Amino acid sequence: MDVFDIMNNYAYEAVRLLTERKMKITTAESCTGGMIAQMITDISGASSVFDCGIVSYSNEIKHSLLGVSEETLKTYGAVSEETVREMVSGALKISGADIAVAVSGIAGPLSDNTQKPVGLIYIAVATDNNVHIKKLNNSFNVNIRENNRNSAANEALKLVCEILENKAV
C-alpha cells in the first residue's frame, strides 16, 4: 500500500465517521494548499459532511479571513502552534462546522527565512470544546516538498479520525 492509498483510507474513514455522526468538517490550510479538502471531496458522499475549506497561504488572509491576530503572527510566525490554534478556531467560526482542521508549515525545499527548519509543520483539529495540536518535524524530507505536504495532509486526517473515534489525547 503506498502513501496515496493510506491517505485515501484516512479520508474515507473521516467521511464515514462524519456521516455516521451527522457532523460537518471544514479546513484551513496553508502549506497543504487545499490537499486535505481535495482528499475529503474525492470521497463520494463528502457533500453531506463538507461545506467549505479555506486556503490561507498569506499572513494577510490568515489575519483578515481566519482572525489570526497580527500579534500572534508577529510574535510566533505563521508556522507555530499559536497560529494554527487561531486558524482552526477561525475556520470553525466562519463555517459553522462541528470539527475543523488547520495546517501551517514549511514544506521546503526553501525555508521561510526564519530559524525554523524545513519540514516543521503544525496541525490543529478543533471541536467546540477542544483543540488538539500535533507538531511534525519532517527533517528527513528537507528537499522533498511533496512528501512534506502529503505527510501533513495524512497526519491531519489521521488526527481527525482519532478525535472522531474518541482516541485522541
Domain boundaries, the chain: 3-164
For a pLDDT cut of 70, what percent of the chain falls above it? Answer: 90
Q: Examine the pLDDT at 87 and tell me if it is beyond 70.
A: yes
Which of 3.60.40.10, 3.30.460.10, 3.90.950.20, 3.60.21.10 would CATH assign to domain 3-164?
3.90.950.20
Identify the pLDDT of residue 5.
Answer: 53
Sequence-separated (6 or more) residues with CB below 8 Å from residue 10: 39, 154, 157, 158, 160, 161
More confident residue, 132 or 5: 132
Give pLDDT tens digits for 129-159. Answer: 899 999 999 866 656 888 889 999 999 999 9
Q: How far is CA 126 from CA 16, 49, 149, in A?
A: 18, 15, 20
Q: How far apart are the first and last CA of the chain?
A: 28
Element of type H or E holding 3 = helix 3-21
Residue type, 136: L
Confidence of residue 1 (pLDDT cuts 50, 70, 90): very low
Identify the pLDDT of residue 144.
Answer: 84
Residue 89 has a CB neighbour count (10 Å cut-off) of 19
Identify the pLDDT of residue 136.
Answer: 95
